[in-house]
A and B are shown apart, each in its own frame.
Chain A
Amino acid sequence: MKMKSLLSALGISSVLLAASVSFAQHELADGSAKPPTRRNEIAKAPEKYRARPNPMDSDPSAPAAGKFLYQQHCAECHAHGADGTRRGPSLLRDRVQTAPPGALFWLVTNGVVRHGMPVWSKLPEPERWQIISYLKSLGSSTGSSGAGHPQASMVTPN
């Protein structure tokens, strides 16, 4: 009986793992597999967020703190240099670098759940603003299309 339970547990876990990995990969690979129906997620930020200034602007240590937070929480998908990977777009593009800080804050807070970016409201507000400070300190690299992301901007496929 014990052996039967163990084997069924192992079997079920293998099937579940394979199914969920397969499902996740399908969703993550979506961006490069489908024709790009480009959607600008930043443009969806409500006006009241867009108008919010970055309260960390007066803190000279904010970009440095934001860099540590970025490397911990964001680099896996957006790359350590923020130039994008297959899983997440470049954050050096003009669209990101010229966006109002409040719009970026809204995007980080809400994520793009249906397209793979989790919500990051689990980070306290000051930490999210520190990440925005770091991103803004990187400056734009016009023309950069990111390391491997075909639509390397804050754009997700439909």
Chain B
Amino acid sequence: MLRRFWLIFLFFSLILFFAPSRSAAQENPYIVAYDHYMEEPGSLDVEYFSTFGTQRGGNDFHSFWTEFEYGATAWWTTEFYLSGQTTFNDSTIFTGWRWENRFRVLKHEHIINPVIYIEYENTQADKILKEIEGHDVEDDFADSNADARQEHDHEMEFKLLLSSSVKGWNFVENTLAVKNLSNEPWEFGYALGASRPLALKGSATPCDFCRQNIIVGAELYGGLGDRYSFGLNNTSHYLAPVAIWNRPDGWALRLSPGFGLNDQSHKFLLRWGISREFAGFGSAVARFFGAH
């Protein structure tokens, strides 16, 4: 049964990756932080990400996840994640799924643009480090997979995403509050980011690897404790340069080496991702089911 699931998953992935894409969006380079831009309505963005992490007092790991990001409307983007991880000298496991929704609050562009983020997460032994919250520290990841899987996380995650675009720069400020649905306190975290394309003008000739298609920046993220011990004590923090190459054919490649900023953080995280946007996916599905 498990084998059948992966065969079906692989089949649909191949269809998606080889299907023609007629347009490309300008993706941001962030991996942890979010800006205020929604997925274009009807477009599906399929993304794969990897994180390699060093682990003191345990085995290094490679975590990976797939995102299916769909623009339901111009003000609502919904996203579904599947994740897994390999802990070296241990095992490879499926770690769970997440469902994320982002809602644009204001009709027009402003100096600061707010977006509301709501996510449900059902995971165990998760190591994707997609956000750092509460007192998440490196030691939490030292357990073997067998031990880590004893704890099952059902979490609701809420974020306020603030984002500004000024003179080619994008600045983001994200704050997050997480509630494990078992009896645990609210936990808090943050992510900040800034990025800019290498060139602000488009080229008059066809070009693929050119400066306006490359956006570089940095993100800073970490935990802020919980309801009973808010603050920086016993929390981890990371600084990560980020870069993305947006290809005109809809593919995008991301790369981000991350560095732990204190003794509670993993020393080094290397993240990379590949994504492809399928414009008009919603219309194609609707036509398949007979809509006009």
Binding site for B on A (CB under 8 A): 2-3, 5-6, 8-10, 12-13, 16-17, 20-25, 27-29, 61-62, 64-66, 68-69, 71-76, 87, 109-119, 121-127, 130
Contact = CB atoms under 8 A, between A and B. Distances in A.
Most buried by A among B22, B24, B28, B201: B201
Dominant secondary structure at the B interface: loop
A108 to B, nearest CB: 10
Given A72-B248, A75-B23, A118-B38, A130 B202 contact: yes
Given A13-B80, A111-B74, A73 B26 contact: yes
Nearest to A123: B26
A65 B80 contact: no
Given A10-B5, A73-B26, A114 B107 contact: yes
B75 A87 contact: no
Contact of B80 (A16, A71, A126): A16
Interface of B: 1-2, 5, 22-26, 28, 35, 37-38, 40-43, 68, 70-76, 78, 80, 82, 94, 96-97, 99, 104, 107-109, 122, 165, 167-168, 170, 197, 200-206, 212, 248, 279-280, 282-283, 285-286, 291
Nearest to A62: B204
Contact of A116 (B24, B26, B74, B167): B74
B130 to A, nearest CB: 16
B278 to A, nearest CB: 10
Nearest to B37: A122
B119 to A, nearest CB: 13
Contact of B22 (A23, A76, A118): A76
Contacts of A65: 201-204
Contacts of A114: 74-75, 107
Given A9-B97, A125-B168, A87 B40 contact: no
11 contacts: A2-B2, A3-B2, A17-B285, A23-B73, A28-B42, A28-B283, A112-B74, A115-B74, A116-B73, A119-B109, A126-B200
A27 B285 CA distance: 15
Most buried by B among A6, A16, A17, A76: A76
A119 B291 CA distance: 27
A24 B44 CA distance: 12
A146 to B, nearest CB: 16
